[in-house]
Every structure is written in structure tokens, then in C-alpha cells.
């Protein structure tokens, strides 16, 4: 219920001044409102800085090893992908997942570009915008590949239909692509290889143009090196959509 203002208080507030005009009411201060602005800006910058570290980040695809699932070919607009960093905090990678992982020590090079980390929240936010449009410098410290087999599974190539074999069964992979002129449109034989527990066997979708677990000296990748799961292509506009 609303509390009524006493008549005498209301009359006193509205009583005319010495010149006959009603006395002006005291103006409310804007101090708290002005102080609230910088706090909101600081909170927004903090969120902007923490999201790429713990939740999700945009990565640039500069190579063709995941064609045509992800574009990074010479002469095309490199895809920008949103990588979910929470996905594998609550569950292990599964066969078929497209994941980003830290370069294993035994692997010799990398092909994924990410923003430089500056430690400055404002700059981190700008780097995320820059990653989207591709206007800032990048590091090359991560890979993006598809999980083919996980710990405890046995993988090898290939059956009489040129399919990867996992635990004795051929796997249909409709996303496969063979780069014209890069070699035969057939997968190179390997294995069988039993993937150790806590590790995963990864390969690029462009099977004759990918450095992955098949390469000499590479092999399986530890699950602990997974950064996140690639969820969406966010740029270019005509490529926006989920990643299968």
C-alpha cells in the first residue's frame, strides 16, 4: 500500500515563496547514475576478456587440410570458426568431432591461426573482432582436425571401399575431399593402430592434403591437449552455419 503524504507536509512543500510562486523542489542528484557507467563498462570489458579464455573463441582457418568442411584454400576467403571451450570440460571428444588442440611436441608444424594474447582486456576484445574480419596478426600454434578414433579403439586404413576401419568396421565419411593434383584420390594405408586411453586419432577431411596422426612421428594426440570443439562457421556471411 502507498503511504499518504500528511496534509501539512504536502502544503508546506507546495507553499508559495516570497514572490508568490511555488517554491521549487530540490533537484535530485545524478551522482549515482554517473558512477554506474564506468562500473558497467569495466564489467563488460572483463566479460569480453574472459570469454575467449574460458568459454569460446574465434579461430581463422588458413590451410586446406579440412576442405571442404572448412575453407582455408589458396585464393578463397578463410573461414572464421567459433570454438566451444566448454564442450570437453564436461565430456571427452568423440569420433566425428572437429576439435582444436595444442600442437603436440612430437608434431613439427601447425596450421591454425589465433589472435595474439596481450593480457589487456580491451585489446583482447579487439583481437576477437579482428579475428572475425582477419585484420590483425596471428600466431600459428594449434591444429584443427576431425577425431577418427578414441582411446581403446583400433584404427587402420583401409577396406576395399577405401574407408577407414575402426574396430573392424568401415566408417562412412561423406565429408571427405581429395585435392586435385595433390595425389591419388585414395587414402594411404596405415595401421592397425590401437589408440591409447586418454588419446585420440585425428585426421583432416582433405585426406591427401593434411598433416595429421598418419604422418611419421605424429600419431595419437592426448585428450588433455584439446582446446575445444569447432561449433560454427561465423564468417564469411554465405558460409555461416554449424559444423558437422
| 65 included as an active-site residue | yes
- Active-site residue identified among 63, 85, 110, 145: 145
| 74 included as an active-site residue | no
Residue 122 gets which letter from DSSP?
H
- Pair 240, 232: CB distance under 8 Å: yes
Number of residues that this document lists for the chain? 244
62, three cell numbers: 588458413
- Active-site residue identified among 63, 65, 206, 210: 65
SS3 call for 134? coil
How far from the centroid of its chain's Cα atoms is residue 4's Cα?
57
Residue 85 CB partners (closer than 8 Å, separation 6+) = 53, 54, 55, 56, 57, 227, 228
Element (H, E) at 230: strand 226-235
Residue 194 CB partners (closer than 8 Å, separation 6+) = 152, 153, 154
**Active-site residues: which are they?**
65, 145
Amino acid at each position: 500500500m502507498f503511504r499518504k503524504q500528511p496534509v501539512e507536509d504536502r502544503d508546506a512543500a507546495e507553499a508559495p515563496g516570497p514572490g508568490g510562486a511555488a517554491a521549487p523542489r530540490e533537484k535530485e542528484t545524478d551522482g549515482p547514475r554517473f558512477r554506474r557507467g564506468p562500473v558497467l563498462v569495466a564489467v563488460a570489458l572483463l566479460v569480453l576478456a574472459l570469454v575467449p579464455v574460458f568459454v569460446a573463441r574465434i579461430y581463422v582457418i588458413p590451410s586446406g587440410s579440412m576442405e571442404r568442411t572448412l575453407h582455408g584454400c589458396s585464393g578463397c576467403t578463410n573461414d572464421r570458426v567459433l570454438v566451444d571451450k566448454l564442450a570437453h570440460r564436461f565430456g571427452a571428444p568423440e569420433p566425428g568431432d572437429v576439435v582444436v588442440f595444442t600442437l603436440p611436441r612430437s608434431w613439427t608444424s601447425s596450421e591454425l591461426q589465433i589472435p595474439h594474447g596481450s593480457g589487456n582486456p580491451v585489446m583482447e576484445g579487439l583481437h576477437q573482432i579482428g579475428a572475425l574480419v582477419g585484420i590483425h596478426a596471428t600466431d600459428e600454434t594449434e591444429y584443427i582436425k576431425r577425431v577418427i578414433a578414441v582411446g581403446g579403439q583400433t584404427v587402420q586404413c583401409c577396406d576395399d571401399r577405401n574407408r577407414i576401419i575402426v574396430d573392424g568396421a568401415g566408417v562412412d565419411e561423406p565429408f571427405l575431399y581429395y585435392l586435385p593434383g595433390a595425389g591419388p584420390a585414395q587414402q594411404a594405408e596405415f595401421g592397425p593402430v590401437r589408440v591409447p586411453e586418454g588419446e585420440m586419432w585425428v585426421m583432416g577431411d582433405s585426406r591427401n592434403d593434411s598433416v595429421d596422426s598418419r604422418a611419421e612421428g605424429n600419431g595419437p594426440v592426448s585428450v588433455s591437449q584439446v582446446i575445444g570443439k569447432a561449433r560454427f562457421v561465423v564468417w564469411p556471411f554465405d558460409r555461416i552455419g554449424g559444423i558437422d
